[in-house]
């Protein structure tokens, strides 16, 4: 018979968001609560659409909770689905495999958690379907779990639930690696995957292999719409997959061309115009935006780089004209920099000497160590999650050193363009 279900993965409930230093408490709160609001959107959609069941393909949590509130929040949502007669089937992934709280908290009877010792199958006789799944036993899993799944049950719609990196994805550890052929070889109709945070229809024929992506973006790498998928199975077995946008806050990376901009006012006009489409696409959600400024005159670059804190504040103020719920996650300068010659008022060879110093490995190593130590000492209130200081990114050194070079030149030559 025909039926439908929602396939979600990588919810990471109450996981801290990384990359924001926002003093607007209302906005900070909106982002802290984003994973819960997205989860509520998932529950509400499942009930409204009257789906037959929900699949969660791993990483429901981000590890052990600090207290029981995260687990109770999840149990409350499962209770809502139980009262609506909607079962939930989930596997544990690498992040929630060892969560000790989940072993202590009784969940509503509509929740089935697949075991980790072997692949298990659950028959849904009234739907003519069968689900196969296996959880991670520990955070690290180098085994090909897909090879342990049973062959398809004849006369049923077979659905596999698996947390896996497949053959590998950039930015994701190689957990439970397997090949597409391993999945296709089980003769299932649909594979509900988790682990990769970018939505991807890996395959449609001869079977569907789908990553729904994470439910809620947590940093700038997880930008754009996020959510789950709704899967509809017709009487003849044909499958339709539709995106569900369920996120409650949005991340965006915006490049701002400054061609023709000669002053700070010109630059801010360009910023507003470039961010407006991202704000429109967020459809009223709080938006955290990384802004990359490109082009423009070399003199303007000196003005922009001279005081990063002031630049960020000016951009934030300018964006109030676009929307009040917009955070500036980071400002990146890709604008024109001084050429091979230093300004005529400076000594010959100064720019070359600065470039040579920036490239010195010993100096870079020492600077990286000092910056890492400094970040660890920063007060928690500077971050959206006071209990977690974002890790230092060594690759950020290039941008910092470039900015330092420009600031030094601008200062020594009398400052940048006043704008």
- The answer to whether the bond into 82 is cis (omega within 30° of 0) is no
- Asked if 60 and 90 count as a contact pair (C-beta separation under 8 A), the reply is yes
Beta bridge partner(s), residue 112: 89
> Residue 220 CB: number of other CB atoms within 10 A?
17
Does 382 score more than 50 pLDDT?
A: no
Averaged over 202-228, what is the pLDDT? 94
Q: What is the pLDDT of residue 205?
A: 92
Q: What is the pLDDT of residue 69?
A: 84
Q: Kindly report the CA angle at 280 between 279 and 281, in degrees rounded to 5?
A: 90
Token pair of 112, please? 């089935």
Give the long-range contacts of residues 149-155, CB within 8 A, separation 24 or more: 149/119, 149/186, 150/119, 150/121, 150/186, 151/186, 151/187, 152/186, 152/187, 152/188, 152/189, 153/121, 153/123, 155/128
Going from the C-alpha of 146 to that of each of 58, 124, 229, 231, the distances in angstroms are 15, 21, 22, 21
Q: What is the pLDDT of residue 20?
A: 61
- Asked if 175 and 94 count as a contact pair (C-beta separation under 8 A), the reply is yes
Averaged over 33-49, what is the pLDDT? 96
Give the long-range contacts of residues 112-117, CB within 8 A, separation 24 or more: 112/87, 112/88, 114/89, 114/90, 114/161, 116/92
For 258, counting Cβ atoms within 10 Å of its Cβ (0-12 exposed, 13-18 middle, 19+ buried), the class is buried
Does 139 score more than 70 pLDDT?
A: no
Q: What is the mean pLDDT of the chain?
A: 83
Averaged over 154-176, what is the pLDDT? 83
Beta bridge partner(s), residue 88: 54, 111
Between these two residues, 14 and 323, which has the higher pLDDT value?
323
What is the per-residue DSSP string for 47-69?
HHHT-SEEEEES-SBSSS-SSTH
Q: What is the pLDDT of residue 67?
A: 64
Boundaries of every domain in the chain:
3-245, 250-412
Token pair of 161, please? 């639930």
- Residue identified by tokens 């596999």 is 160
Q: pLDDT confidence of 381, banded at 50, 70, 90?
A: very low
Between these two residues, 108 and 19, which has the higher pLDDT value?
108
- Please tell me the least confidently modeled range out of 7-11, 120-124, 207-211, 377-381: 377-381
Q: What is the pLDDT of residues 313-361, one digit of tens each?
A: 999 999 999 998 998 988 988 875 555 444 555 566 666 777 777 777 8
Q: Quick one: which of 194, 248, 255, 198 has its CA closest to 223?
A: 198
Q: What is the pLDDT of residue 417?
A: 42
Q: What is the pLDDT of residue 25?
A: 72
- Please tell me the least confidently modeled range out of 69-83, 110-124, 190-204, 332-346: 332-346
User: How is the chain split among helix, strand and coil, in percent rounded to 5?
Assistant: 35, 20, 45
Does the pTM surpass 0.85? The reply is no
Into which CATH architecture does domain 3-245 fall?
4-Layer Sandwich (3.60)
Residues in contact with 106: Cβ distance below 8 Å, sequence separation at least 6, in sequence order: 75
Averaged over 405-418, what is the pLDDT? 55
Q: What is the pLDDT of residue 334?
A: 80
Q: What is the pLDDT of residue 52?
A: 98
Token pair of 303, please? 């003005």
- Please tell me the least confidently modeled range out of 52-61, 95-104, 250-259: 95-104
Q: What is the pLDDT of residues 104-136, one digit of tens each?
A: 678 899 999 999 889 999 999 999 999 999 988
**What one-character DSSP code corresponds to residue 102?**
G
Token pair of 351, please? 């720019």
- Please tell me the least confidently modeled range out of 27-41, 192-206, 294-308, 394-408: 394-408
Averaged over 267-293, what is the pLDDT? 95
Provide the percentage of residues in the chain whose pLDDT is more than 90. Answer: 51
Q: pLDDT confidence of 408, banded at 50, 70, 90?
A: low
Q: What is the pLDDT of residue 330?
A: 87
Q: What is the pLDDT of residue 303?
A: 79
């Amino acid at each position: 018979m025909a039926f439908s279900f929602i396939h979600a993965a990588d919810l990471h409930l109450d996981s801290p968001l990384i990359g924001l230093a926002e003093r607007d408490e209302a906005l900070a709160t909106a982002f802290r609560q984003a994973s819960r609001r997205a989860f509520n959107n998932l529950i509400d959609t499942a009930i409204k659409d009257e789906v037959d069941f929900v699949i969660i393909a791993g990483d429901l949590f981000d590890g052990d909770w600090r207290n029981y509130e995260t687990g109770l929040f999840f149990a409350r949502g499962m209770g809502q689905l139980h009262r609506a007669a909607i079962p939930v089937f989930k596997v544990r992934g690498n992040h929630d495999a060892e969560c000790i709280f989940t072993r202590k908290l009784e969940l509503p009877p509509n929740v089935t958690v697949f075991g980790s010792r072997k692949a298990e199958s659950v028959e849904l006789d009234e739907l003519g379907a069968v689900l196969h799944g296996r959880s991670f036993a520990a955070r690290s899993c180098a085994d090909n779990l897909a090879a342990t799944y049973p062959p398809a049950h004849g006369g049923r719609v077979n659905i596999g639930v698996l947390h896996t990196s497949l053959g590998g994805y950039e930015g994701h550890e190689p957990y439970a690696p397997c090949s597409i052929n391993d999945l296709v070889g089980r003769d299932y109709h649909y594979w509900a995957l988790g682990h990769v945070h970018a939505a991807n229809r890996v395959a449609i024929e001869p079977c569907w292999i789908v990553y729904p992506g994470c439910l809620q973006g947590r940093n700038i790498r997880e930008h754009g719409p996020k959510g789950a998928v709704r899967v509809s199975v017709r009487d003849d077995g044909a499958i339709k997959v539709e995106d569900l946008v369920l996120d409650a806050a949005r991340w965006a990376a915006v490049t701002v061309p400054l061609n023709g901009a000669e002053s700070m006012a010109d630059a801010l006009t360009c910023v507003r115009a470039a961010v407006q489409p991202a704000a429109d696409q967020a459809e009223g959600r709080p938006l955290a935006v990384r802004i990359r400024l490109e082009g423009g005159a070399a003199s303007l670059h000196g003005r922009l780089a001279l005081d990063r804190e002031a630049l960020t504040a000016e951009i934030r103020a300018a964006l109030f004209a676009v929307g009040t719920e917009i955070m500036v996650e980071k400002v990146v300068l890709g604008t024109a920099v001084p050429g091979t010659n230093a300004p005529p008022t400076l000594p010959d060879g100064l720019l070359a000497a600065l470039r040579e110093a920036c490239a010195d490995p010993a100096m870079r190593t020492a600077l990286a160590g000092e910056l890492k130590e400094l970040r660890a000492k920063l007060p928690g209130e500077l971050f959206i999650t006071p209990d977690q200081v974002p890790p230092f990114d060594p690759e950020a050194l290039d941008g910092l050193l470039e900015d330092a070079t420009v600031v030094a030149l601008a200062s020594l030559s009398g400052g940048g363009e006043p704008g």
